[in-house]
Amino acid sequence: MLRHYYICDDLDDLEIVEKELEQQGVGRRQIHVLSENDAELEQHHLHALTPFLKKDIVHSSELGAAVGIVAAVVLLSVTYFLDLHNTVVGWLPYIFGALVILGFCIWEGGLIGLQLPNQKFKHFQKILKKGHHIFFVDTKAEQEAPLASVIAKHPGLREVSADKATAA
């Protein structure tokens, strides 16, 4: 799938575009609008991104997991090289500690991600602050022509980029 991004100022026009795309066989789940004003999107019955997808929770949690894995490996390595695992308690508290460290780092990464915009939409922040809306469509190869014909009828939409689609 390919994801096409468009800038638009007119939500009425976006509502019409969305209906035309649905009539052309593009599913509602393939059409999204990123905006600072979710209330207006709801009034126009447009498919807005969920607040979860607007934030960088997943990416930041993955980074937290990477840090946690490194920290856990360091803890277990220190345990091994200092021969602490040969004491009465054995490996159990150190493995448990490594898991706690890993979990904490993932959790902390997610909390940091709650405060950041999604990295995939970060380059649109200036556009969104100006009051524009980002309309994006995930298309299969056979939907490219219908998308182009619908977009051609709406000069208020400017394509800003296209890339490989991921789940939204």
Q: For 63-80, write each residue's pLDDT tens digit.
A: 999 999 999 999 999 999
Q: Measure the CA–CA gap between 62 and 66, rounded to whole angstroms.
A: 6
Spans of the chain below 50 pLDDT:
none
Q: Measure the CA–CA gap between 92 and 98, rounded to whole angstroms.
A: 10
Cβ atoms 136, 5 nearer than 8 A: yes
Residues in Cβ contact with 161 at an 8 Å cutoff, skipping those fewer than 6 apart: 4, 5
Nearest to 33 by CA among 22, 44, 48: 48
pLDDT value of residue 53: 87
Cβ atoms 23, 134 nearer than 8 A: no
In this prediction the pTM is 0.76
